[in-house]
């Protein structure tokens, strides 16, 4: 969606809200039905278990869970808000919620009895605070957290003579790529069986890439693309503060040099080109099909990778950067109450239950994500251990304090409309990394207009 269209949609939504106030929901309020939306099909069974338990304790209420795919989820949610409709409760994302706060479609949890005493200290560090608006009110109850690592098939690394210890000790820099680039070069194989670090390697005819790609990363600020690298640079942050930053630092020469190095991996033939990503889809598909070896993705993808047939799962941590430490973008989902709920107090009861030890332990036992509470986290780790999956590549970031929270700013949709095509252009090769200086000026100007 272009910036102009995004602005028009936001204006329509604002006008509708001002004209109607809270209005009605899906028409089921008053019947004791709480409509709850989520996008992850892998998590739906766990939340159905929570809903069943919740209904046992609250027999007058019923939770109806609806699951949509990622793209459909957000389009249907926004369309519903414009039409004065929507779920009572929905799974919210850091990249989206700031815009919803701006548009006044969320009920502050502080205003609802069941969630008014939400204790931030009961959740993993920083997860509750990131869901506080500029007004200091709480707009989401933390449900889980995630970090980033590399998934790979150990059969391919064994064949290349690369050990798990080598992968765990990788380091990178923007000058020569360090041992990280050496390893992905060696893991890359062309159509003639020549590896990327051997004489005669044909970068234009690659059969197996050392590193998979998740695209340009402008839409998610490099969470599963370049985030782990830029956040392990010394003395640099993407925003002047987070959440609710007012100034981006994409004009920094070190940042631009790192972006140039990262997308240069495709030019060298070690990572798919942008056109290959469009053809082969994202990291999971590339790694699953045996088209790439190391695939950077989030902890929420662990179960999917582990379930691949004839796939011996390995997980490697992000490499140590010039700062002397590794880094990972840190994201956390939350549950929010919609202003279109006919019974927000009942909706809040469901949100409070999902944020409780009881529900988060059930989610942890499902082994799909890392819940936000320690009890749920313990259950998730036990489930992974029982399944024989080592997830230390994800948890090491919490242990070492090397997480960096995903950025939260006003006008998120309009900013994405600028950043997404800009990073795609660098990936394609139609724009240099220095073009990020102009992008930075545009984004900061937009934030200035928002805060004035």
pLDDT at 113: 98
The confidence score (pLDDT) of residue 401 equals 94
The number of angstroms, rounded, from the C-alpha of 410 to the middle of its chain's C-alpha atoms is 18
**pLDDT in the model for residue 59:** 97
Q: What is the pLDDT of residue 451?
A: 63
- pLDDT averages per 10-residue partition of the chain, 452 residues: 37 40 41 96 96 98 97 93 92 90 93 96 91 94 97 98 98 98 98 98 98 96 97 96 94 98 98 85 94 97 95 98 97 96 97 98 96 97 96 96 92 91 97 98 90 61
Task: State the DSSP code for 41.
Answer: T
Burial 339-350 (b: 16+ CB within 10 A, else e): bbbbbbebbbbb
Q: Which of 278, 263, 266 is nearest to 435 (CA)?
A: 263
Of 162, 180, 181, nearest in space to 170 by CA: 180
Q: What's residue 281's pLDDT? A: 84
Q: What is the Cα–Cα distance from 125 to 128, expressed in whole angstroms?
A: 8
Secondary structure (3-state) at 33: strand
Of residues 441, 429, 407, the one with CA closest to residue 222: 407
| Distance separating alpha carbons of residues 256 and 249, to the nearest angstrom | 10
Beta bridge partners of 320: 171
Contact 145, 292 (CB under 8 A): no
Contact 433, 256 (CB under 8 A): yes
What is d(CA 429, CA 266) in angstroms, rounded to the nearest whole number? 10
**3-state percent helix, strand, coil for the chain, nearest multiple of 5:** 45, 15, 40
pLDDT at 4: 35
CA distance 287 to 117: 44
Q: For the whole model, what pTM was predicted?
A: 0.90
Residue 274 tokens, joined: 């942008």
Q: For the chain, which residues make up each domain, given as ranges?
A: 3-144+332-391, 148-330+411-451
The domain 148-330+411-451 having CATH identifier 3.30.950.10: the answer here is no
CATH H-level superfamily of 3-144+332-391:
Periplasmic binding protein-like II (3.40.190.10)
Beta-strand ranges (E) seen in 39-169 are 62-67, 89-92, 141-142, 144-145, 148-153
> What CA–CA distance (Å, rounded) separates 150 from 253?
27
Please tell me if the domain spanning 3-144+332-391 has the same topology as the one spanning 148-330+411-451: yes
CA distance 155 to 162: 10
């Amino acid at each position: 969606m272009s910036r102009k269209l995004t602005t028009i949609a936001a204006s329509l939504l604002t006008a509708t809200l001002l004209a109607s106030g809270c209005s009605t929901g899906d028409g089921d309020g008053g019947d004791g039905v709480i409509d709850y939306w989520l996008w992850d099909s892998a998590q739906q069974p766990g939340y159905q278990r929570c809903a069943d338990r919740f209904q046992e304790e609250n027999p007058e209420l019923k939770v109806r869970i609806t699951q949509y795919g990622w793209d459909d989820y957000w389009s249907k949610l926004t369309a519903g808000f414009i039409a004065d409709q929507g779920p009572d409760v929905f799974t919210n994302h850091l990249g989206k919620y700031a815009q919803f706060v701006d548009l006044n479609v969320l009920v502050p949890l502080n205003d609802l009895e069941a969630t008014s005493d939400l204790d931030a200290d009961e959740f993993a560090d920083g997860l509750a605070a990131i869901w506080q608006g500029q007004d200091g009110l709480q707009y989401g109850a933390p449900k889980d957290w995630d970090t980033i690592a590399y998934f790979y098939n150990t059969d391919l690394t064994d064949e290349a003579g690369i050990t798990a210890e080598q992968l765990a000790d990788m380091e990178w820099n923007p000058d020569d790529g360090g041992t990280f680039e050496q390893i992905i070069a060696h893991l890359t194989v062309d159509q003639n069986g020549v590896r990327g670090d051997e004489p005669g390697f044909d970068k234009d005819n690659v059969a197996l890439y050392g590193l998979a790609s998740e695209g340009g990363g402008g839409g998610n600020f490099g969470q599963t693309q370049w985030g782990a690298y830029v956040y392990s640079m010394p003395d640099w942050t993407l925003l002047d503060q987070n959440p609710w930053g007012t100034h981006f630092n994409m004009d920094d020469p070190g940042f631009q040099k790192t972006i140039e190095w990262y997308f240069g991996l495709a030019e060298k033939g070690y990572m798919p080109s942008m056109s290959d990503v469009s053809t082969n889809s994202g990291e999971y598909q590339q790694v699953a099909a045996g088209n790439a070896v190391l695939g950077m993705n989030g902890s929420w993808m662990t179960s999917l990778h582990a379930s691949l047939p004839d796939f011996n799962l390995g997980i490697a941590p992000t490499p140590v950067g010039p700062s002397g430490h590794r880094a990972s973008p840190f994201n956390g989902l939350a549950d929010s109450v919609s202003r279109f709920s006919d019974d927000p107090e009942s909706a809040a009861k469901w949100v409070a239950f999902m944020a409780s030890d009881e529900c988060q332990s059930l989610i942890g036992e499902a082994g799909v994500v890392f819940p936000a509470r320690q009890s749920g986290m313990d259950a998730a780790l036990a489930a992974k251990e029982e399944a024989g999956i080592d997830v230390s590549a994800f948890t090491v970031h919490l242990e070492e304090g090397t997480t960096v929270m995903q950025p939260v700013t006003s006008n998120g949709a309009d900013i994405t409309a600028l950043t997404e095509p800009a990073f795609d252009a660098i990936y394609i090769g139609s724009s240099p990394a220095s073009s990020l200086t102009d992008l930075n000026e545009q984004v900061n100007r937009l934030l200035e207009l928002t805060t004035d």
